[in-house]
C-alpha cells in the first residue's frame, strides 16, 4: 500500500476486537467495505454503525485487506474455506502463522484487552504484525503508520510469548481482583479503599521492575501473617493463596 492509495479493509467477526478496531479505522477514515460474521445480529449492528454492508458469505468480501477478528479455531477453519486474492490477517494471539501457510496471510494482533462500550485511544492499542510476504508486511506497516498505531514486527513464537505475558498481567490479575471483590463484598467492606493501592502498584512499574517492587508477607516469609490469611479463606481458596505464596517465596528464596 502506498501513501497515495487508500486501502480498502473488510472485517470477519463482529465481537469486541472487530468492533473496536473497525471503529478506530473508521475514525481514521479507512475505507471499510464490509462486515461478515456468523452472528447476523451483532454483524448487522456493527455494519450499520460503520455505514457499510453486512455480507453473510465472507468469500464475497471485496477489499485489499481482510481482517479476521475471531477466535483461534475460526481462524484455522477460515484458512481452508476462505477463497480470496486479498491479503488476509488475523488478530488471534496464539495461532502460529506457519499453521496457515498462505503467502497472502499475516497477523495483525492488538496487544490489548477490549470491553464492550469502553473505547480506547489509538495510542492505547499496540499492534504486533507478521506476514508471509514482504508486500503484505509493507502494507501492514503503512496501515499502522497511517492510523498512528504503535507497532512492531514479531514472529509467531515471540507473539505467543507476548500473549502468555498478557494472560499473566491481564487475565490472571483481573481474576485476582475478582477474588478480592468477592472477599470484601462478603464482609461488607469497601472495594474503593483498595483503588489507590492498585494504582500505585501499577505506577511503580514505571520506576522499578516487578521483581524489585514486590512486597508483602510472602516475600518477607512472614509465616504468622500467611497463616492468619489462610484462616480467613474458604477451603477452596486456600490452594490459590498457597500457590501464589509459594511462587513468591521461591522467587526470593526466603530472603
Q: Residues 134-185: pLDDT tens digits?
A: 999 999 999 999 999 999 999 999 999 999 999 999 999 999 999 999 999 9
pLDDT of 4 higher than 60: no
Residues 98 and 14 in one domain: yes
Residues 20 and 140 in one domain: yes
pLDDT of residue 37: 96
What is the C-alpha separation between 84 and 75, in angstroms, rounded? 14
Residues 87 and 144 in one domain: yes
pLDDT of residue 5: 62
What is the C-alpha separation between 9 and 24, in angstroms, rounded? 12
Residues 137 and 212 in one domain: no
Mean local confidence (pLDDT), 39-46:
97
Report which of 109, 72, 70, 103 is spatially closest to residue 88, judged by C-alpha positions.
103
pLDDT of residue 254: 63
Question: Can you give the residue range of the structural domain that contains 143?
Answer: 8-154
Report which of 121, 91, 125, 94 is spatially closest to residue 107, judged by C-alpha positions.
91
Number of domain units in the chain: 2
- Helices 235-252 + 223-232 axis angle, to 10: 160
Percent of the chain with pLDDT over 70: 97
Residues 141 and 171 in one domain: no
**Residues with Cβ within 8 Å of residue 141, at least 6 apart in sequence:** 129, 151, 153
At 151, is the secondary structure helix, strand, or coil?
Answer: strand
CATH of the domain at 54: 3.40.50.720
C-alpha cell of 119? 473505547
Mean pLDDT of the chain: 94
- Chosen domain end from 108, 129, 154: 154
Sign of the alpha-carbon torsion through 19, 24, 29, 31: negative
Residues 126 and 165 in one domain: no
CATH of the domain at 236: 1.10.1040.20
Tens-digit pLDDT profile for residues 69-128: 998 889 988 988 999 999 999 999 999 999 887 889 999 999 999 998 899 999 999 999
Residue 60: φ, ψ to 5°: -95, 0
CA atoms within 13 A on the CB side of 223: 1
Strand 105-110 and strand 127-131: the pairing is antiparallel
Within a domain: residue 192?
yes
Residues 69 and 15 in one domain: yes
Report which of 80, 32, 79 is spatially closest to residue 90, judged by C-alpha positions.
79
Residues 193 and 112 in one domain: no
Residues 16 and 75 in one domain: yes
Amino acid at each position: 500500500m502506498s501513501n497515495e492509495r487508500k486501502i480498502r479493509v473488510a472485517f470477519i467477526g463482529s465481537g469486541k476486537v472487530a468492533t473496536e478496531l473497525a471503529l478506530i479505522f473508521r475514525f481514521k477514515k479507512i475505507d471499510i467495505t464490509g462486515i461478515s460474521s456468523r452472528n447476523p445480529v451483532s454483524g448487522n449492528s456493527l455494519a450499520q454503525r460503520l455505514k457499510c454492508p453486512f455480507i453473510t458469505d465472507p468469500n464475497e468480501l471485496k477489499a485489499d485487506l481482510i481482517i479476521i477478528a475471531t477466535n483461534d479455531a475460526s481462524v484455522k477453519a477460515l484458512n481452508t474455506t476462505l477463497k480470496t486474492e486479498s491479503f488476509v490477517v488475523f488478530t488471534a494471539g496464539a495461532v502460529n502463522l506457519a499453521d496457515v501457510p498462505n503467502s497472502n496471510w499475516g497477523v495483525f494482533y492488538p496487544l490489548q484487552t477490549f470491553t464492550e462500550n469502553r473505547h480506547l485511544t489509538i495510542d492505547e492499542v499496540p499492534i504486533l504484525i507478521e506476514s508471509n510476504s514482504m508486500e503484505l508486511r509493507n502494507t501492514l506497516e503503512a496501515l499502522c503508520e497511517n492510523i498512528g498505531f504503535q507497532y512492531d514486527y514479531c514472529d509467531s513464537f515471540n507473539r505467543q510469548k507476548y500473549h502468555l505475558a498478557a494472560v499473566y498481567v491481564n487475565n490472571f490479575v483481573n481474576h485476582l481482583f475478582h477474588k478480592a471483590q468477592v472477599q470484601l463484598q462478603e464482609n461488607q467492606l469497601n472495594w474503593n479503599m483498595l483503588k489507590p493501592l492498585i494504582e500505585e502498584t501499577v505506577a511503580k512499574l514505571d520506576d522499578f521492575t516487578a521483581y524489585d517492587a514486590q512486597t508483602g508477607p510472602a516475600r518477607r516469609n512472614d509465616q504468622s501473617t500467611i497463616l492468619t490469611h489462610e484462616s480467613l479463606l474458604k477451603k477452596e481458596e486456600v490452594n490459590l493463596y498457597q500457590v501464589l505464596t509459594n511462587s513468591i517465596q521461591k522467587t526470593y528464596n526466603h530472603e
